[in-house]
Amino acid sequence: MVSPVLFWVVAILTVVPALSLLFARKAVHIAMSIVCVMVGLAAAYVGLDAPFLGVVQIVVYTGAVMMLFLFVLMLVGVDQREDTRETIKGQRWIAFFTAGGIAFLLISVLGRVSIAPQAARVGNPEEIALVLFGRYVLVMEVLGALLITAAVGALIMTHTPRLTPRRTQSEVQAARVLAGADPVNKPMPGVFARHNALDVPARDPEGKPIEHSVSRVLEARHQMSDGDEFRTRLENTSNPEDSQLPNGAPSADSDERTPRIGEEDQK
């Protein structure tokens, strides 16, 4: 017999997180909830005299499957939020009624089952091994084919081989310069700025903000302080010292500036 306490703990530990599949918005939250369900199921297996499966459950599901899910979630963007408004007419009702119907029917069927559980307890790993490599050995063999198929399939769909020859560091750098990138390192954020902070763009010698000096992450989060914002703050300030920029750089609003090398040729 199984302890009722265990059952109820498992029931709550699985059903409640599982409901996040229907109601939670963030995929990551759902994935973590499912991890919880998997752990709950592992507990159930142990309670049902299947310790081997309990361990396998933890290893395979929480350890591998769900981690793979999380991995892919991160790949496609952890921050994905799902709009839960329904787009297909009536889909929500159909879903609840059919799923509810399935649950109702299965429970009504199972509720009337009266099989007395056997007292015999089986389930230690050695016994499982005997069955696994005895009666089910052919299935084991075929699973090999299954796993090869899965691996080959995943490789085909995701692996991109090197299509261009590997480039050396100097080639990379040469290409960058050719493409018009700064030959030297990008300025650090906060350089020449009023604020020595990561969210403030650097300024070039002319005082213009260099927007790409700030991390893209901050940019995506809209946590970057805008260069223009500083410019206006600079213009509006009454402190004369402020107009005197350090290192003698020309002021931001000055129209006159010395042309850069190369610009002259274009004129």
Partner 1 sequence: MLTLTWLLIAVPLASAAVLLLAGRRADAWGHWLGVAASGTAFVVGFVAFLQMLGLESEERATSVHLFSWIPGGELNLDAGLLVDPLSMTFVLLITFVGTLIHVYSVAYMEHDADRRRFFAYLNLFVAAMLLLVLADSYLLLFVGWEGVGLASYLLIGFWNFKREYATAANKAFFVNRIGDLGLIFAMGLMFSYFGALDFDSVLSQAPEATTAQLTAIGLMLLLAACGKSAQFPLQSWLGDAMAGPTPVSALIHAATMVTAGVYLIVRSAPIFNGAPNAQVVVAAVGAFTLILGALIGMAKDDIKKALAASTMSQIGYMMLAAGLGPIGYAFAIFHLVTHGFFKAGMFLGAGSVMHAMNDQVDMRRFGALKGAMVVTWVTFGLGWLAILGVPPFSGFFSKDKIIEAAFVGEGWQPWVFGGAALIGAGLTAFYMSRLFFMTFHGKARWTDEVHPHESPALMTVPMMILAVGSAFLGLFLAMGDRFTHWLEPVTGHAEHHEPVLPVPVLIALTLILVAAGGLLAWLRYGRAEVPETAPSASLATLAARNDFFQDSVNRAVVQRPGQHLTRTLVYVDATVVDGAVNKQARGWAGLGEASRRLQNGQVRSYAATMLVGLVIVVAVIVVGGL
Partner 2 sequence: MNFVTPEIAWAPLAPIIIVLGAAAIGVLIEAFVRRPATRRTIQLGFGLVVLIAALGTTIAQWAALEGGGTTVMQFMLTVDRQALAWQTVILVFGILGIILFAARTRAGEPAFTALGSASPGSLEETLARRRGLEVTEVFPLLLFAVGGMMLFTCVTDFVFLFVALEVFSLALYILVALARRRRLMSHEAALKYFLLGAFSSAIYIFGVALIYGATTQTSFAPVGRAIDVISDRDPLLLTGVVLVLVGLLFKLGAVPFHSWTPDAYQGAPTPVTAFMGAATKAAATAALVRILYTSLYPLEWEISWMIWAVACLSMVLGTVLALVQTNVKRMLAYSSVAHAGFILVAFAGLTNEAVAALPFYLLAYGLATIGAFAVVSQVRERTEDGSVGAEAVRLGQWAGLGKRSPLLAGAMALFLLSFAGIPLTAGFIGKFEVFSAAIAGGGWPLVLVAVIASAVAAFFYVRLVVLMFLTDVPEGIEDAVEVEDSPLATLVVVVTAAGVIVLGVLPAGVLSVFESAAQFLVLSNG
Partner 3 sequence: MNPINFVILAAILFSIGSAAVLLRRNAIVAFMGVELMLNAANLALVAFSRIHGQLDGQVMAFFVMVVAAAEVVVGLAIIIALFRARQTISLDEPAELKG
Size of the site for partner 1 (CB under 8 A): 12
Binding mask 81-120 for partner 1 (x = CB under 8 A): -------x--x--xx--xx-xx--xx-xx-----------
State in angstroms the smallest separation of the CB of 43 from partner 3: 11
State in angstroms the smallest separation of the CB of 99 from partner 2: 12
Does the protein bind partner 3 through residue 178 (CB under 8 A)?
Answer: no
Does the protein bind partner 2 through residue 15 (CB under 8 A)?
Answer: no
d(CA 163, CA 151): 22
From the list 207, 213, 210, the residue with the least C-alpha distance to 258 is 207
- Name the amino acid, one letter, at 225: S
Does the protein bind partner 2 through residue 178 (CB under 8 A)?
Answer: no
* Extended strands (E) in the chain: 202-203, 209-210
The secondary structure of 178-198 as a DSSP string is HTT--SSPPPPTTTTSSS-ST
- Name the amino acid, one letter, at 188: M
Residue 210 is classified by DSSP as: E
State in angstroms the smallest separation of the CB of 115 from partner 1: 16
Token pair of 82 as six digits? 């799902």
State in angstroms the smallest separation of the CB of 98 from partner 3: 7
Binding mask 33-62 for partner 3 (x = CB under 8 A): -x--xx--x--xx--xxx-xx--xx--xx-
199 Cβ contact list (under 8 Å, min separation 6): 189, 214, 218, 223, 224, 225
Does the protein bind partner 3 through residue 14 (CB under 8 A)?
Answer: yes
Task: Point out which span in 91-99, 122-130, 218-226, 247-255 binds partner 2 (CB under 8 A).
Answer: 122-130
Per-position b or e across 166-176, b if 16+ CB within 10 A of its CB: eeeeeeeeeee
Q: Given candidates 90, 111, 161, 248, which one binds partner 3 under the rule CB under 8 A?
A: 111
Among residue numbers 128 through 157, which ones bind partner 3 (CB under 8 A)? 128, 131-132, 135-136, 139, 143, 146-147, 149-151, 153-154, 156-157
Q: Given candidates 89, 158, 240, 256, which one binds partner 3 under the rule CB under 8 A?
A: 158
d(CA 219, CA 210): 13
From the list 41, 46, 38, the residue with the least C-alpha distance to 64 is 38
Specify the residue for token string 């500083």.
230
- The CA-based angle 32-33-36, given to 5 degrees, is 95
Residues lying near partner 2 in the complex (CB under 8 A) are found at 105-106, 109-110, 112-113, 115, 126-127, 130, 133-139, 142-143, 145-146, 148-150, 152-153, 155-161, 163-164
Residues lying near partner 1 in the complex (CB under 8 A) are found at 88, 91, 94-95, 98-99, 101-102, 105-106, 108-109
